[in-house]
Chain A
Amino acid sequence: MNPAVDILIDSDGRLVFIDETGTRHENVRPARMFPLTDPEGWISLQSPSGEEVGFIENAKTLTRVQQVALSDAFAKRDFVPVVRSIDRISRASDGHLWHVTTDRGPTIFRIETDESIQQLGANRLVIIDDHNTRYLIPDIDKLDVESRRRLERYY
C-alpha cells in the first residue's frame, strides 16, 4: 500500500481514509467486495453518499493499527456468523429451524425454502434465514460427520 495512504479512527470514532493525493475522507464506510469468498481482500472504502473513494486489495498489507481500525469499522456493520456445527434441524410450520453453533455462539434460525441455502464455489455455503441474516459455512468438508449428515438432508 502506498505509504501516503492511511486509515485511522478519528476522535469521534469514525473511520478516516487519506488517499494517495493526501485528501482526507472522513466517516468512510468499508465494504467487502467479496464478503463471502474473500473477506480479507478487496475492500472498498465509500463516502457517506456511497461513492467509492478508494480500495484496499489486501487488508494484510495494512499496519496493525490500520487493520484494527478497519476491523472495528466492519464489526459495527457486518454480521455473518460462521457455522461451526449443525446441532439439530427441526421442522416448523413455515420452514425449518436450524440449531447451530457459530463463531458468534449458538443460535437458532428459521429458513423457509431450499433456495435459502446457496452454494458459493465447490464447498462453501451461505444460508439466509427469514430475517435475511447470512450464515456462512466456509467448507462443508470441515464440518463434523453428524453436521454433514444433517445438512445432506436439506442440501
Chain B
Amino acid sequence: MSFSAWNLAEIDEMELEEMGATASIHLIQEGVQSHAWRITTGRVREADAFLGRFKDQHRSARSDLKLDPEVLRPEGEDEEIVEGESEVKGFMAGPMVRLFAFAKPWHRLMVLGFLLTLASTATSLIAPWLTMALVDNVLIPLQSATEEVHVNQVYKFMAQLAGAGVLTWVLNWARTFVVARLAERVTSRMRRETFEHLQRLSLTYFNRKRTGDLISRIGSDTDHISLFLSVNFIEFICDVLQCVFLAVILFWINPLLAVAAMGPAPLVGWLVSKVRGHLRGGFAAASRAWSAMNSVLSDTIPGVRVVKAFAQEQREIERFRATDKHIFDTNDRVNRMWSFFTPMIELLTDVGLLVVWAAGAWSVAHHHITVGVLTGFVLYIQKLYGRVESMSKFVAAAQRASASAHRVFEILDVKPDMPVNQGMRKVGRLRGEIDFKGVKFRHGSRQVIKGIDLKIAPGEMIGLVGPSGAGKTTLVNLACRFFDVSEGSIWVDGLDLRELDVEDYRKNLGLVLQEPYLFYGTIAENIAYGKPKATKGEIIAAARAARAHDFIMRTVDGYDSMVGERGHQLSGGERQRISIARALLIDPAILILDEATSSVDTETEREIQAALDYLVKGRTTIAIAHRLGTLRRANRLIVMEDGRIVETGTHDQLLNQSGTYARLHEAMMEVTSQ
C-alpha cells in the first residue's frame, strides 16, 4: 500500500497498541489522536507489516521535506508524548548506540574487558601456530625417520601447548567475569532508570498502558539486553578480533590459499544483510506477543474471583491460548528464517573448506607448502569459519536485543506531562485553602471539566455529589495534581498549584479511596507507607484513631501480620480502616475522600464513618460520596453535573431547590426503602 494520498508531514506517528485479544492502531496528528482502528490479535502481524511500511514512507517523507522535528511537536499536549526529536535521533543512532551510552560510567571496566578480550583472543591463536611447527619439525621427521628428533622437543611442544591453553583459560575467565559484571551494571542502571522514569509519569500514561506490557519491558526486555551484553556482544568482539588476526595469519602463511578460503565471505555478508531486518521485526513482534501474554496474566490472576464467579474459566483459557498462539506464530516466523540461515552459513563454510583442501593438496603436491603448513592452515581456517558461524548467530541476538532496547527506550522517551520538581517552589505545612479559578480540563478530545469556580476555606469540609461521569473524581485528581488543568488555575494557600513542588505539596495530602490499595507487607508497613520512619507508638495511635487497632490485635501476628498481595487477606472494611490510619499518620492538611464508604456494608460503613469523623477534624476535606448520608458533616455540598457546578448549599437548602440534588436524594431514598 502507498501512503501517497496521505499528508504524511501532518502526521506525528502511527502506533499499535495491543489490549488483550484486540489491538488498536492510533494515528496521531498535531499531538492528538485523530483516528483509531480496532483489530483482533490475529491480524497483528499484518498490522505490524502495515505499520512498518507506513514508518518507512513517513520517515522518508519527513526527511524529504527536511522538517524540523521540533516543528512537528504538538503544543499544549496534555498527555505524555514520545518526543519527536528523540524518536528520530533514536532511530538514526539506533537503540544499540543508546544502549552502550548506558555503560559510560563504567568505561574503565569496559576498557579492561576489551583488553582482556584482545589478549584472550590472541592467546587462543597460539596453539595452531605451535601445531604447524610440531607437525613439520617433529611429527613428520619422526614418521619418515629421515632425521633424528630428540624426545625433549616433543615435551617442549607439549609444555608450550599446555601453557598456551592455561593462559587462554585464565584470560577467558577474567574476561567473562569483567564483562558479565559490566553487563549487569548496565542493565541494572537501565531497569532502575526506567522504573524511576515510570514513577515520574502521570496517571494518564498508566491509564493508557497495560500493566503486563510495562512489567514485560522492565523484566524480560532488560533481561534480553543483559544476556546480549554479557554473552553475545563479547563473543562477537572476540569473533571479529579472531577473524582479523586469522585473516592476517592466513595471508601471511599463504596468500593464494587465503584468497581461496575467503571465497564465501561476500555471500555470507549479503545473506546477513538480507536476514537482519526480518529478524529484528520478528523479535519486536515476539516481545510484543510476550507483553500481550503478561497482560492477560496480570488481568486474569488478580481477577480470578470474578473469573470463577462468572464461570468464565474456559473463556480465559481461550484468551490465554490466543496470546500463546500469537507467541508461537511470531517465534515460528523467526525460527523459519533462522533455521534456514544458520545451516546455509555452515554450508558456505564447508564449501570454503573444500576449496582450501583442493588448493592445499595441489600446493603440497607442487612443493609450494609443507604438510605442516597445510595442517596449520586448515586448523586456522576452521577457526575462522567457526567464528563466521558464531558471528552469524550474533545477528539474531543483536536484533533481539535491539528490539528489546527499543521497547525500553520507548518508556524512557516518554516526556512527563507533569513538570519535574527541580526549581519549583518548596512548601511546608499548608493551611489548606483551595481555590479553583475557571478550571477546565480536557482528557484527549473530551472536555471533562467545563469551568469550575470554587473556593474552599482551610478546615472546611465539602461534599461533592452528582451523577456518575459528572467530573467529581477528575476535580479531585486535579486538586491532587495528578493532572494539570487545561485552562484556569488552582490556588492553594494563595499559591498557584503549578508553581509548587509536587512532592512537597503531596506531603500535605491524605487520600482515602473507594478501593484502598494495600501493598504486600505487614499491617504496620502499610500504615506507615506515607511516613516510613513513624515510630511504633505513632502507628498504633493512628490505628486506634482509625478504629483498626482491635481487629489488628485479633490477627495472629498483630501489626506484624502480612496483608497479602493488595491486602486480600483482610475484609474490605478492614482494608479501608488501614488506609484511613495511613492517611491519619501523615497528618494531612488536605484530605480527599473518594467514595471511601461505597463498597462496604452498613455496619462497616458506620465503623469507617466513625474513623473518618476523627480523620476530617481540622482538615480541609473534599469528599465524594454517592451515599449522601456520609456527607452529613460537610459544611457545604457541591453538586456537579456534566463537568460543571450546578448547585451549592447545605443538605436542607439543596432539597428545597428541588434540583439535581433533590433528584439524587429521592432516587437514593427509593433504593433504600426497597
Q: Is chain B's interface secondary structure helix, strand, loop, or mixed overall?
A: helix
> CA separation between A32 and B559, bound complex, in Å?
9
Binds B, one of A20-28, A35-43, A102-110, A142-150: A35-43
- Complex CA distance for A152 and B477, rounded to whole angstroms: 44
A120 close to B522 (CB less than 8 A): yes
Are B553's CB and A35's CB within 8 A? no
| A44-B560 contact, Cβ under 8 Å, with A33-B536, A34-B524, A37-B524 | no
Q: Which of B524, B553, B562 contacts A118 (CB 8 A)?
A: B562
**B524, B537, B553: which has the most chain A beta carbons within 10 Å?**
B553
**Docked complex Cα distance between A36 and B549 (Å):** 17
Asked if B558 contacts A32 (CB within 8 A), the reply is: yes
- Taking CB atoms, residues of chain B closer than 8 Å to A34 are 524, 536, 558-560
| Residues of A close to B537: CB separation below 8 A | 42, 57
The chain B residue sitting closest to A37, CB to CB, is B560
Chain B residues lying within 8 Å of A36, measured Cβ to Cβ, are: 557, 560
The answer to whether A35 touches B554, judged by C-beta atoms less than 8 angstroms apart, is: no
Chain B minimum-CB-distance residue to A51: B550
Question: Are A52 and B560 in contact, with the CB atoms below 8 A?
Answer: no
Determine whether the beta carbon of B554 is less than 8 Å from that of A33. no
A46 interface residue per 8 A CB criterion: yes
Interface string of B554-567 (1 = CB under 8 A from A): 10111110100000
Determine if B174 is an interface residue (Cβ-Cβ < 8 Å).
no
Q: How far is the CA of A80 from the CA of B484 in the complex (A)?
A: 52
Q: B562 and A33: CB pair below 8 A?
A: no
Cα A32 to Cα B562 in complex, Å, equals 15
A35 to B536, Cβ gap below 8 A? no
**Given contacts A34-B558, A34-B560, is CB(A52)–CB(B536) below 8 Å?**
no
Cα distance A40–B60 in the bound complex, in angstroms: 72
At the interface, yes or no: A3 with Cβ under 8 Å from chain B?
A: no
Q: Which A65-87 residues sit within 8 Å CB-CB of chain B?
A: none
Return B402 CB to nearest CB of chain A, in Å: 34
Determine whether the beta carbon of B540 is less than 8 Å from that of A33: yes
B274 nearest CB across to chain A (Å) = 46
* Contact A35/B549 with A50-B554, A120-B522 known, Cβ cut-off 8 Å: no
> Which chain B residues border A134 with CB–CB below 8 Å?
556-557
Contact of B553 among A33, A38, A126 (CB under 8 A): A33
In Å, the complex CA distance between A32 and B557 comes to 8
Q: Is A31 an interface residue (CB 8 A)?
A: yes
Complex CA gap A50/B537 in Å reads: 21
Interface residues of B in 504-552 (CB under 8 A from A): 522, 524, 536-537, 540, 549-550, 552
Kindly list chain B residues whose C-beta atoms are within 8 Å of the C-beta of A52. 549-550, 553
Known: A118-B562, A120-B522. A41 touches B557 (CB 8 A): no
Highest count of chain B CB atoms <10 Å: which of A33, A35, A120: A33
A39 to chain B, nearest CB (A): 9
With both beta carbons as reference points, the residue of chain A lying nearest to B558 in the complex is identified as A33
A41 to B560, CA, bound (A): 13
Assembly CA distance A57 to B558 (angstroms):
15
- Among A50, A51, A118, A126, the one with the most B-chain Cβ atoms within 10 Å of its Cβ is A118
Q: Contact at A120–B560, with CB atoms within 8 Å?
A: yes
Chain B nearest CB from A112 CB (Å) reads: 15
| Chain B nearest CB, measured from A108 CB (Å) | 22
Q: Could you give, for residues 117-141 of chain A, a 1 whenever the CB lies within 8 Å of some chain B CB and a 0 otherwise?
A: 0101000001000001010000000
Residues of A within 8 A of B540 (CB): 33, 42
**Smallest beta-carbon distance B512→chain A, Å:** 23
- Residues of chain B within 8 A (CB-CB) of A118 are 562
User: A44 to chain B: which residues have CB within 8 Å?
Assistant: 553, 558
C-alpha spacing A36/B521, complex, angstroms: 13
- Asked if A35 and B557 sit within 8 Å, CB to CB, the answer is yes
Partner of A31, one of B522, B524, B553, B562: B553
Q: Which of A31, A38, A120 contacts B536 (CB 8 A)?
A: A38
A35 lies within 8 A of B560 (CB): yes
CB distance from A10 to the nearest CB of B (A): 23
Q: A105–B559 Cα gap in the complex (Å)?
A: 27
Residues of B within 8 A of A33 (CB): 536, 540, 552-553, 558-559
Please measure, in the bound complex, the distance between the C-alpha atom of A52 and the C-alpha atom of B553, giving whole angstroms: 9
Cα distance A54–B560 in the bound complex, in angstroms: 20
**In whole angstroms, how far apart are the Cα atoms of A36 and B561 in the complex?**
9
> Could you say which residues of chain B place their CB within 8 Å of the CB of A50?
550, 553-554
B549 neighbours in A (Cβ, 8 Å): 52
Please measure, in the bound complex, the distance between the C-alpha atom of A35 and the C-alpha atom of B524, giving whole angstroms.
Answer: 12
A134, B558: Cα distance in complex, Å: 13
Complex: A41 Cα to B559 Cα, angstroms: 12
Q: In the docked arrangement, what's the CA distance between A46 and B554, Å? A: 10
Those of B313-334 within 8 Å (CB) of chain A:
none
When C-beta atoms are compared, the residue in chain B nearest to A33 turns out to be B558
Docked pose: A31 CA to B553 CA in angstroms: 7
Q: How far is the CB of B232 from chain A (nearest CB, A)?
A: 28
Shortest CB-to-CB span from B51 to chain A, Å, is 41
Q: Residue-by-residue, is B171-184 near A (CB-CB < 8 Å gives 1, otherwise 0)?
A: 00000000000000
Q: How far is the CB of B70 from chain A (nearest CB, A)?
A: 48
Contact partners of A126 in chain B: CB under 8 A: 557, 560
Beta-carbon contacts of A90-111 to B below 8 Å, as 1s and 0s? 0000000000000000000000
Q: Distance in Å from the Cβ of B388 to the closest Cβ of chain A?
A: 41
Measured in the bound complex, the distance between the Cα atoms of B556 and A36 in whole Å is 11
Q: Which residues of B contact A46 (CB under 8 A)?
A: 553
A137 to chain B, nearest CB (A): 14
Contacts of B552 in A (CB 8 A): 33
Segment 58-113 of B: residues with Cβ below 8 Å from A:
none
Say yes or no: A31-B558 contact (C-beta < 8 A), given A37-B524, A42-B536, A120-B522: yes
In the bound assembly, the distance between CA atoms of A120 and B419 in angstroms comes to 36
User: In whole angstroms, what is the CA distance A42 to B553 when docked?
Assistant: 11
Bound-state Cα–Cα, A31 to B554, Å: 9
In the complex, residue of chain A having the shortest beta-carbon distance to the beta carbon of B524 = A34
**Chain B residue with minimal CB distance to A42?**
B536
Interface centre among B536, B559, B560 (most CB of A within 10 A): B560
Q: A32: nearest residue on chain B (CB-CB)?
A: B558
Q: Tell me the complex Cα distance, A118–B537, Å.
A: 24
A41–B536 CB distance below 8 A = yes
Minimal Cβ-Cβ distance residue in A for B564 = A115
Q: In the complex, what distance in Å separates the CA atom of A33 from the CA atom of B560?
A: 7
Taking the closest CB of chain A, its distance from the CB of B557, in whole angstroms, is: 6
CB-based nearest A residue for B536: A42
What are 10 A-to-B residue pairs whose CB atoms are below 8 Å? A31-B558, A32-B558, A34-B558, A35-B557, A42-B559, A44-B558, A46-B553, A52-B549, A52-B553, A134-B557
A residues contacting B by CB (< 8 A) are 31-38, 41-42, 44, 46, 50-52, 57, 118, 120, 126, 132, 134
8 closest A-B pairs by beta carbon, nearest first, are: A36-B560, A33-B558, A33-B559, A34-B559, A34-B560, A118-B562, A44-B553, A37-B560
Known contacts A36-B557, A52-B553, A57-B537; 19 further A-B pairs (Cβ under 8 A): A33-B536, A33-B540, A35-B557, A35-B558, A37-B522, A37-B560, A41-B536, A42-B537, A42-B540, A44-B553, A44-B558, A50-B554, A52-B549, A52-B550, A118-B562, A120-B522, A120-B560, A132-B556, A134-B557
